[in-house]
């Protein structure tokens, strides 16, 4: 009992440590960019840490800055000793190397800005390689997920084949009830459990650039509750049986699942579209600000000049608001507060904040803005490459939805024909039990494809909210494939007779 308790505590601590390390390494390039710009503007290392306490969007480094300042002001350590202590305690190798190198560079009297620029390039290359490796891991995970679904289907197919032989009639003669319990178990428990397990595994493999997606999930509460109530009513109220008989459970399940996903899918689409346009436009915007600053315009006029560009699509509306606020003399910090209410992309907010910090710490020297512009462009290139590498998995999900629906129909028709040939005098009760199992499994396949959409959403865009649009797409794909395969295959079967 004690061993089990301690193992759970150890597992929780290890998971927590792993998440903290991942967050530190995610924020490290931006924190390093902040240190580089502050060093280029002549700000001391301790003042740099004090300014980092105000950067709330870099939560981990905000805590690190609080700890460094605490050790200096409360414990009386010098900043280099405090940084060295943090290097020894962190579990992130990248962060430890950065701190150790930073301390060594300061002690040796080297050019800190050159060291920071070199470290920034190194971290960017490491991040690029890490993203490539993460895409490979995602590919392995998707392949393993597809294999597990196939195994679950094979188990069911094996059972249904055995059930359609003379053994089924024998069980009927022995008055043993034949109910489609395994169908319910496979499609309503085993296959969804496999999906949930793989979604848990995918949780830390790919992080989304979007933040604060709670509204997307909240919009799904009412439709999903309505969907559950509708299923219960159709299943247990006899007066509604005519709906099931006329439409069939596969069509009903598709309509209900799409209805449950649609409000959240539409809401997420609007959020993602606006933020992805902002992400794609931001490097050009910061580059325009940098070039305007190089020719001698003030930071505010450089920003105003960059906002006049018209090819940013929906992002131009936000830039027009920013231009109006700056022209009316609104402080940049307040301008950023307005941006936070309209933008949910973490990279966009971080880069905007870094640009504002560059203005506040030294009038945004062109060297500091050049560092920001170069990194922003490289980061965008990496993100575009990552998304292009992940797109094939969306196509793969559509393919396996089609194949699952097609396989279900082929097995159903084959078993039905074999049962009629081997047991021509099969009792109506046994035949109905077999049909019920096939209907349950066909409906379950549509439900499984709907759940798979959330796995694909996490894999492709880094968040489960994206799964609402993919779940609706895969459910409709599975139903159409099932319907077409039934019509064509049954027609082909009936034609010779």
In sequence order, which residues have a C-beta less than 8 Å from that of residue 82 and are 6 or more positions away?
Answer: 67, 68, 71, 72
DSSP 110: -
* Confidence (pLDDT) at 234: 86
Q: Helix and strand tally (H, E) in the chain?
A: 19, 0
> Residue 410 pLDDT > 80, yes or no?
no
* Confidence (pLDDT) at 269: 92
Per-residue confidence band for 18, with pLDDT thresholds at 50, 70 and 90: low
Read off the pLDDT of each residue in 365-378 and give the average, rounded to a whole number. Answer: 78
Name the average pLDDT for the chain: 79
* Confidence (pLDDT) at 256: 92
E-state strands within 360-491: none
In sequence order, which residues have a C-beta less than 8 Å from that of residue 279 and are 6 or more positions away?
Answer: 209, 345, 347, 348, 380, 383
342 to each of 270, 281, 348, 356, how far by Cα in Å? Answer: 12, 15, 11, 17
> Between 497 and 212, whose confidence is greater?
212
Structural domain spans, the chain: 2-110, 136-276+381-494
For residue range 45-58, what is the model confidence (pLDDT) as tens digits? 888 888 888 888 88
Q: Which two tokens stand for residue 367?
A: 């060297």
* Confidence (pLDDT) at 166: 45
The angle at the Cα of 343, spanning 298 to 307, to the nearest 5 degrees, equals 30
Per-residue confidence band for 266, with pLDDT thresholds at 50, 70 and 90: very high
Per-residue confidence band for 313, with pLDDT thresholds at 50, 70 and 90: confident
Read off the pLDDT of each residue in 391-405 and give the average, rounded to a whole number. Answer: 85
**Taking the CB of residue 164, how many other CB atoms lie within 10 A of it?**
23
* Confidence (pLDDT) at 297: 80
Q: Are 107 and 80 in contact (CB under 8 A)?
A: yes
* Confidence (pLDDT) at 261: 92
> Between 3 and 282, whose confidence is greater?
282
Per DSSP, the residues of 277-300 read HHHHHHHHHHHHHHHHHHTT--HH
For residue range 431-445, what is the model confidence (pLDDT) as tens digits? 566 666 667 778 888
Crossing angle of helices 93-108 and 79-89, in 10° steps, is: 160
* Confidence (pLDDT) at 1: 43
Per-residue confidence band for 13, with pLDDT thresholds at 50, 70 and 90: very low
Cα R_g (the chain), whole angstroms: 29
> Between 371 and 63, whose confidence is greater?
63
Least confident of 77-91, 214-228, 408-422: 408-422
For residue range 149-192, what is the model confidence (pLDDT) as tens digits? 777 777 766 666 665 554 455 444 544 444 456 666 777 787 78
Q: Which two tokens stand for residue 46?
A: 């301790």
* Residue 354: HSE in the Cβ half-sphere, 13 Å Cα cutoff: 28
> Between 276 and 183, whose confidence is greater?
276
* Confidence (pLDDT) at 122: 82
Question: What percent of the chain is predicted at pLDDT more than 90?
Answer: 9
Per DSSP, the residues of 311-362 read -STTHHHHHHHHHHHHHTT--HHHHHHHHHHH--BHHHHHHHHHHHHHHHHH
Q: Is 431 helix (H, G, I), strand (E, B) or coil?
A: helix
In sequence order, which residues have a C-beta less than 8 Å from that of residue 248 and are 6 or more positions away?
Answer: 439
* Confidence (pLDDT) at 470: 93
- For 210, list phi and psi in degrees, rounded to 5: -95, 145
Per-residue confidence band for 473, with pLDDT thresholds at 50, 70 and 90: very high
Beta bridge partners of 345: 210
> Residue 265 pLDDT > 90, yes or no?
yes
Burial class (CB in 10 A: 0-12, 13-18, 19+), 171: middle
Per-residue confidence band for 421, with pLDDT thresholds at 50, 70 and 90: low
* Confidence (pLDDT) at 450: 92
Rounded Cα distance, 350 and 211, in Å: 12
* Confidence (pLDDT) at 258: 93
Q: What is the dihedral of CA 74, 24, 371, 461, to 10 degrees?
A: -150
In sequence order, which residues have a C-beta less than 8 Å from that of residue 20 and are 6 or more positions away?
Answer: 60, 91
> Residue 481 pLDDT > 80, yes or no?
yes
Read off the pLDDT of each residue in 85-109 and give the average, rounded to a whole number. Answer: 83
Q: How far from the centroid of its chain's Cα atoms is residue 468's Cα?
A: 11
């Amino acid at each position: 009992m004690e061993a089990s308790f301690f193992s759970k505590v150890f597992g929780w601590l290890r998971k927590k440590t792993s998440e903290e390390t991942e967050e530190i390494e995610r924020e490290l390039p931006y924190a390093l960019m902040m240190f580089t710009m502050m060093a280029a503007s002549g700000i001391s290392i301790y003042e740099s840490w004090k300014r980092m306490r105000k950067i709330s969007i870099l939560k981990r480094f905000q805590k690190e800055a609080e700890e460094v300042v605490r050790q200096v002001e409360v414990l009386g350590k010098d900043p280099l000793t405090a940084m060295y202590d943090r290097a020894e305690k962190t579990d992130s190798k990248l962060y430890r190397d950065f701190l150790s190198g930073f301390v060594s560079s300061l002690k040796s009297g080297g050019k800190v800005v050159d060291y920071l620029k070199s470290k920034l390039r190194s971290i960017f290359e490491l991040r690029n390689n890490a993203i490539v490796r993460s895409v490979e891991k995602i590919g392995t995970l998707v392949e393993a997920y597809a294999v597990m679904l196939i195994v679950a289907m094979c188990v069911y197919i094996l059972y249904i084949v055995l059930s359609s032989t003379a053994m089924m009639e024998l069980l009927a003669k022995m008055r043993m009830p034949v109910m489609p319990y395994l169908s319910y178990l496979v499609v309503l428990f085993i296959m969804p459990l496999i999906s949930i397990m793989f979604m848990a595994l995918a949780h830390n493999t790919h992080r989304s650039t979007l933040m604060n997606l709670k509204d997307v999930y909240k919009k799904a509460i009412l439709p999903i509750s309505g969907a559950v109530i509708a299923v219960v009513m159709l299943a247990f109220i006899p007066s509604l049986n005519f709906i099931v008989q006329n439409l069939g459970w596969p069509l009903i399940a598709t309509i209900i699942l799409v209805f449950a996903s649609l409000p959240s899918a539409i809401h997420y689409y609007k959020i993602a579209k606006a933020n992805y346009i902002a992400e794609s436009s931001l490097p050009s915007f910061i580059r325009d600000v940098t070039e305007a600053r190089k020719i001698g315009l003030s930071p505010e006029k450089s920003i105003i000049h960059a906002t006049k560009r018209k090819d940013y699509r929906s992002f131009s509306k936000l830039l027009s608001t920013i231009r109006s606020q700056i022209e009316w003399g609104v402080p940049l910090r307040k301008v950023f507060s307005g941006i936070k209410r309209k933008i949910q992309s973490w990279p966009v907010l971080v880069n905007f904040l870094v640009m504002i910090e560059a203005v506040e710490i030294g009038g945004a020297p062109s060297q500091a803005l050049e560092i920001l512009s170069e990194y922003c462009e490289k980061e965008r290139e990496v993100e575009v490459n990552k998304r292009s590498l992940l797109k094939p998995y969306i196509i793969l999900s559509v393919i396996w939805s089609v194949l699952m629906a097609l396989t279900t129909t082929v097995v159903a028709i084959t078993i039905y024909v074999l049962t009629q040939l081997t047991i021509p005098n099969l009792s109506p009760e046994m035949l109905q039990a077999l049909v019920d199992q096939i209907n349950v499994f066909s409906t379950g396949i549509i439900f499984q494809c709907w759940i798979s959409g959330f796995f694909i959403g996490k894999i492709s865009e880094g968040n489960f909210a994206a799964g609402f649009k993919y779940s609706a797409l895969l459910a409709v794909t599975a139903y159409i494939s099932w319907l077409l395969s039934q019509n064509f295959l049954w027609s082909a079967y009936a034609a010779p007779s």
